[in-house]
Every structure is written in C-alpha cells, then in structure tokens.
Amino acid sequence: MKRNQIHKIGFLVTGLVFWLLMTACTTSSSSKKEKDPNSEPPEKIVDLDLDKIKERGYITAIMDNSSTGLFIYRGNTMGYEYELLKAFAKSQGLELRINVTPSLEEGFRKLNAGEGDVLAYNLTVTKDRKKRIAFTHYHNLVKMVLIQRKPDNWRKMKLHEIEKQLIRNPVELIGKEVVVRHHSSYFDRLQNLSNEIGDDIIIIEDSPEVETEAIIRKVAEGEIDFTVAEEDIALVNSTYYPNLDIRTAVSFPTQIAWGVRKNGDQLLSALNAWIIEMRRTSEYYTIYNKYFKSRKASLKRTQSEYYSLGGGKLSPYDSLIKRSAAELEWDWRLLAAQIYKESRFDPNAESWAGAVGLLQLLPTTAEEYNVTMLEDPVQNLYAGTQHIKWLQSYFSDVIIDPLERVKFILAAYNVGHGHVMDAIRLTEKYDGNPQLWEDVKEYLLKKSNSNYFNDPVVQFGYCRGIEPVTYVTTILSIFKNYKILFPEGLEVEAESPVPSENI
C-alpha cells in the first residue's frame, strides 16, 4: 500500500475516533444535565397544615418497619418513634395513622404530596434535606458509627487481639467498600469523611427498598463487611447480633428529628412545642430507655417468634385463629385484633365481670354453645366464633353494607345486640343514618344520658356507650397495624364480606 494511502486511512481513523469521543462526551454531558436536580421543576407541596389535619381528624406518619420505628411484639404495636408520635397525636386530639414506606426518597415524595404529614425515620438533619422539608426540634442527638464484624473466633480471643483486627481509625477505610442505605445521610457523611482523610472510601448505596437494619444484618451474616448507622440503631442491633462491633465513630453527634412540609408552619410549631415539653418529662425517658437502654428486653423481643421483624407470628394461636376466621369469612388479622383487645392472647385471662379466655366469654354465653372449659383455647375460640356467627346472622338484614356491619357486630359482641339496636332506633328517630356506624355510635354514647335511655324507642335502658365505641375503634386500629406489618391476605374466598383492604 502506498504511503499517501496509509496517511489518508490514518487520518480517517483518527477523525472517526475523535468524532466518537466527542459524541460520547456530548451524550454524557446531556445525560448529566437531564439528571441535574437543579434543572428539574420544583417539587410541588400540598397545602395541608394542622388546621386542615384537625378538621379531618387524623394525622399520618410516614415510617419504616424497624426495631426503633414500628413493629409488633406479641400482638402489641410498638416502637420508639411510634410511641412518641402516638403521644403527640393524642395531645392534639387526633387519630394516628401509619404509612409504612421503606424508601427514604419515596417518603420525602409522599410527605410533600400529602400522603403523610410527618416523616419519622430516625432522620438525621442535613442541609440538603432542609431544601425539601422542614425539620422539627431534635428529639435525640446521636453520632454515626461504623458497623463491622468481629473476627470469626472472637469469643476465644483476648480483647487486644480483637482490637487489632478492627478498624478504629477512619483512615483505615481508604479503599474499603461501605454499603449504606439509599438516599441516606450516611452517604453524604462518608463522602465528607473521604475528603477529610484525603482519599476514597468506596461508598455503595443499597436498593431503595432496603432499610438500615436489613443492611446491618448483611454485615452480621458476612454478606458485606461494613455499613454505617446512627449509634442508637446500632446499639439495638448489636443486641441481636453480638458478633457486631459498633464502637468506631464516623461523625460528631447529629440531630435526629422529624420532617414536615415546608409550608406546614402550624404543624411545625405544634410539634416543636410538644417535643421541647415532652423531653422534660419522665415519660420521654421511659420510652427512650425502653428501646435503647434495655438490652435484655430488646434481646428477648428479637429471640421471640412473635416479633414482626423476625418470627413473623402474632400469637401461639395463629393457626386456630385463621381457621375460625375462615369460618366467619373474616380476615384472620381482624379476629386476631379482637382477641388481642379482649385478652392479649392470654387463654387464662379473666375480667372483673367473670369473662374468661381468649375471647373473654361469660360462662352463660359459652354454655349456649355447649362449652364449659373456657381456658381451653380451642373451646374458647369455638364458642366465641359461634357467637360472632350468630351476631352476623342477626345483623345481616339490619345493616346492608358488610363493611359497616362488622362494626355493629363488634359493638354487639362487647355490649350486647339489644343496646346496639336501641342506638339504631335512636339514630333513625333523630334523623341520623341508621346504616352508618359513625352516626349510630353517637346515640350509643348518648345512652348514658337519661334523656335518651328513657326514650320510648329504647328497650334496654342505660348503657355506658363509651366502652363499645372505644372497643370498635381500638380493634379496627389494631387491625390496621396488623395489616401493615403482617401483609399476608385472606385464606378464604375472594367474596368475603370483610375484605381486608377496605377496613
């Protein structure tokens, strides 16, 4: 081949390579520009402050399912964040509702879209987050720590031998992979730490739906080597996993607070005033110590099969409850919620009135179904189920809507069907809607007033209506929490009159 032809080919190849590089750079630059958050339109924030929240009667907290946020243990809904939020909601005369959202980014979106009102994730206050949401006064101050595994044979080693194999100086993280929660402040902290030590820590964000405690478990089980979390979360998890070391700090103490919408001035002011006052009370420290200081109680929970983050059972009687619920065509978690309210799953429970067992049956009621051994869970559930079936039959022609009907059945189980029918008649007489529990419960409450229990339409006289009304509200609230943390559905046909998604 002639020299001038070689030069031409070389020139063409060089030109082609240059064109490809320029195209790649242009594409990369364009891609980066599309992902630049500053180029995106500002996030829309719904107009929903405390005055409107009070009008509707409930406040929704966006939370994760964790040992410090929200979990169920032996049927009881628990969690540090949950107990504080519940206390705040009570102080405002509001019902607390929960929106469990594992993804932090999704939580921010839901908050500003109005799908929740308070963002409660054991959330670290950062400047970047302040651009999107407003933070309350902090309710805790904690530092971030490195979570790493002790050597495999650490129990047989001396302390100084263990120390030699652990990272105590952050400089030793150079070149190491540290997996952190997606969209978390841990990522930002490790980036800053890389700058401070003058070299790169390899920071990997896990999938958006993976929560901090799941990543900590990966370290304990040897799937990854390092992660970062707040010290309070790390302390709780080190109780579950004694092979974890959490003593290496990677930050100064940081503020842990809740987030609200930036236009939620009323809610922010109310929360701030409440948090400042709450932190002065013994109640706050009782709640805090319960979850972060009581290592023995934490260990007992995690080793229990009735722990929603591990064992996945509500009670020792789940299989019996499911069988009875199928006979009733109820979601089994609804019946479980009723049993928890009645006896906290204690087959030997006995009330001051002489009601006994899981479903707190009076001996006279049980005898109608030929049951005499009320402490026996099988017999007690059988009699209770038969009584609920009788109430279902009784109200089947009285209350048309099956979803409303279950509320009347629960109230009648508590106070007797006669008092509930009195309230229905009063509702009808005073131009309420006798088909709606919200209307009828008001007249059930009024049956403690002589103007109403002496009304000609009333057949069963005085009734302390607050008890059945609270009974129904409590059971449905427990049921909602069970649905959130035990998401399995019905084990009966789809045409069940009490579908779980609608109650």
**161-196 pLDDT, tens digit each:** 999 999 999 999 999 999 999 989 999 999 999 999
Report which of residues 215 and 302 the model is more confident about: 215
The strand pairing partners of 66, in sequence order, are: 70
Q: Torsions phi, psi of 377, nearest 5?
A: -55, -40
Q: Looking at residue 11, what is its pLDDT?
A: 42
Instruction: Determine which helix (DSSP H) or strand (DSSP E) holds 249, and give its type and residue range.
Output: strand 244-249
CATH for 83: 3.40.190.10
Structure tokens at 301: 């929970």
Is the domain of 380 the same as that of 475? yes
Is the domain of 244 the same as that of 268? no
pLDDT of 219 > 70? The answer is yes
CB-neighbour burial class of residue 30 (10 A; exposed 0-12, middle 13-18, buried 19+): exposed
- DSSP states of 40-60: SPPPP-----HHHHHHHTEEE
Helix 318-328 / helix 377-395 crossing angle, nearest 10 deg: 20
Q: Taking the mean position of all CA atoms in its chain, how far away is CA 260?
A: 17
* pLDDT digit string, tens, across residues 83-124: 999 999 999 999 999 999 989 999 999 999 999 999 998 899
Report which of residues 484 and 418 the model is more confident about: 418
CATH for 444: 1.10.530.10
Q: Looking at residue 231, what is its pLDDT?
A: 93
Q: Looking at residue 16, what is its pLDDT?
A: 42
Band of residue 312 on the pLDDT scale cut at 50, 70, 90? confident
Q: Looking at residue 19, what is its pLDDT?
A: 42
Q: Is position 371 within any domain? A: yes
Band of residue 476 on the pLDDT scale cut at 50, 70, 90? very high
Is the domain of 263 the same as that of 247? no
* pLDDT digit string, tens, across residues 353-368: 899 999 999 999 999 9
Instruction: Answer for the pair 150, 166: CB distance below 8 angstroms, yes or no.
Output: yes
Is the domain of 224 the same as that of 94? no
Q: In angstroms, rounded to a whole number, what is the distance separating the alpha carbons of residues 75 and 3?
A: 86
Which residue blocks in 293-362 are alpha helix, DSSP H?
Answer: 295-302, 318-328, 332-343
Q: What is the rounded radius of gyration, in angstroms, for the C-alpha atoms of the chain?
A: 29
Instruction: Answer for the pair 323, 79: CB distance below 8 angstroms, yes or no.
Output: no
> ∠ CA(232), CA(234), CA(239), 5° rounding?
105
How far CA 117 is from CA of 99, 299, 330, 377, in Å, comes to: 10, 32, 31, 41
C-alpha torsion angle, residues 44, 50, 55, 58 (rounded to 10): 90
Q: Is position 43 within any domain? A: no
- Count of C-beta atoms within a 10 Å radius of residue 457: 14
* pLDDT digit string, tens, across residues 459-472: 999 999 999 999 99
Q: Looking at residue 503, what is its pLDDT?
A: 52
Is the domain of 264 the same as that of 123? yes
Is the domain of 333 the same as that of 467? yes
Q: Looking at residue 336, what is its pLDDT?
A: 96
Q: In angstroms, rounded to a whole number, what is the distance separating the alpha carbons of residues 112 and 133?
A: 8
Q: What is the pTM of this model?
A: 0.76
Q: Looking at residue 239, what is its pLDDT?
A: 84
Please identify which of the residues 81, 230, 231, 342 carries the catalytic annotation. 342
Is the domain of 190 the same as that of 322? no
Q: In angstroms, rounded to a whole number, what is the distance separating the alpha carbons of residues 105 and 322?
A: 36
Q: Looking at residue 309, what is its pLDDT?
A: 77
Is the domain of 108 the same as that of 157? no
Q: Looking at residue 40, what is its pLDDT?
A: 56
Is the domain of 153 the same as that of 101? no
Q: Is position 307 within any domain? A: no
How far CA 284 is from CA of 81, 139, 274, 385, in Å, comes to: 11, 10, 11, 40
**3-class secondary-structure state, position 202:** strand
* pLDDT digit string, tens, across residues 279-295: 999 999 999 988 888 77
Q: In angstroms, rounded to a whole number, what is the distance separating the alpha carbons of residues 9 and 16?
A: 10
Q: Looking at residue 435, what is its pLDDT?
A: 97
Is the domain of 362 the same as that of 396? yes
Instruction: Answer for the pair 133, 262: CB distance below 8 angstroms, yes or no.
Output: yes
Of 306-310, 396-400, 437-441, the one with minimum mean pLDDT is 306-310
Is the domain of 406 the same as that of 487? yes
Is the domain of 168 the same as that of 190? yes
Q: In angstroms, rounded to a whole number, what is the distance separating the alpha carbons of residues 274 and 269?
A: 9
Its domain, for residue 189, covers: 144-251
Is 342 a catalytic site residue? Answer: yes
Q: Taking the mean position of all CA atoms in its chain, how far away is CA 136?
A: 20
Handedness of CA 214, 219, 221, 225 (dihedral sign): positive
Q: Is position 290 within any domain? A: yes
* CB crowding 157-182: b at 16 or more within 10 Å, else e: eeeeeeeeebbeebeebeeeebbbbb
Report which of residues 24 and 266 the model is more confident about: 266
